[in-house]
Structure 1
């Protein structure tokens, strides 16, 4: 299935911060977006149509467990994938359910 990818403001900000440290983040994100076109694997559904996926960080060469986490929202009616937030797993261990709720509320309307 093909999705229209929409980058939300908080995603763009977090991406820009990570880009300062990891020069290949663009390639890593592009490879993930290409893979969902063929596999339809959006990651783990943490809430209704909200997904968290592990993405390998090729700058670290340590696999997906030390890579990025991408939070996204799938709008099925519009066939859109909203990228809400990306973070480095080595910097932030886990996002709580409350933090994820706040991310969703802030980003869905923007």
Structure 2
């Protein structure tokens, strides 16, 4: 089963910033999209059908642990994956529950 992947506007801004900062980011992110299109249920479950996934950024040279974190929301009944947030692990440690709830409100409205 293939899922439709939808990025919210805030996510697109974050992608643009990271792709300017890291030369390999576009290629790394493209591979990630191929993976979640086929199997979105992976990573650490955050509740509310949300998952935190790790993305290795090859141009950082440090693997997944120092790469980016991507927060997704999976709606199985509609076969959709919403890309909610992406951040560089070196810039931000975690996403708070309030931030997650605010992001979920954006896709429900």
> Aligned residue for 1:4?
4
Task: Say if 2:5 and 2:37, in contact at 8 Å, map to a contact too.
Answer: no
Residue-by-residue CA offset, 1:68-101 (whole Å, 9 max, x unaligned) = 1001111111101111111100001111112211
CA distance 1:37–1:109, shift in 2 (3 Å): closer
CA distance 1:65–1:23, shift in 2 (3 Å): same
> Aligned residue for 1:109?
108
TM-score (norm 1): 0.87
Question: Which structure carries more helix by proportion?
Answer: 2
Measure, in 2, the Cα distance between the counterparts of 1:82 and 1:41: 12
Root-mean-square deviation over aligned CA pairs: 1.7
Measure, in 1, the Cα distance between the counterparts of 2:80 and 2:38: 16
Measure, in 2, the Cα distance between the counterparts of 1:27 and 1:13: 17
> Aligned residue for 1:18?
18
Which one is further off, 36-45 or 83-92? 36-45
Structure 1 stretches lacking a partner, 5+ long: none
Task: Say if 1:5 and 1:81, in contact at 8 Å, map to a contact too.
Answer: yes
User: Secondary structure of the equivalent of 2:60?
Assistant: coil
Task: Say if 1:6 and 1:82, in contact at 8 Å, map to a contact too.
Answer: yes
User: Secondary structure of the equivalent of 2:59?
Assistant: coil
Measure, in 1, the Cα distance between the counterparts of 2:70 and 2:62: 17
> How many residues in Structure 1 have an aligned counterpart in Structure 2?
109
> Aligned residue for 1:62?
62
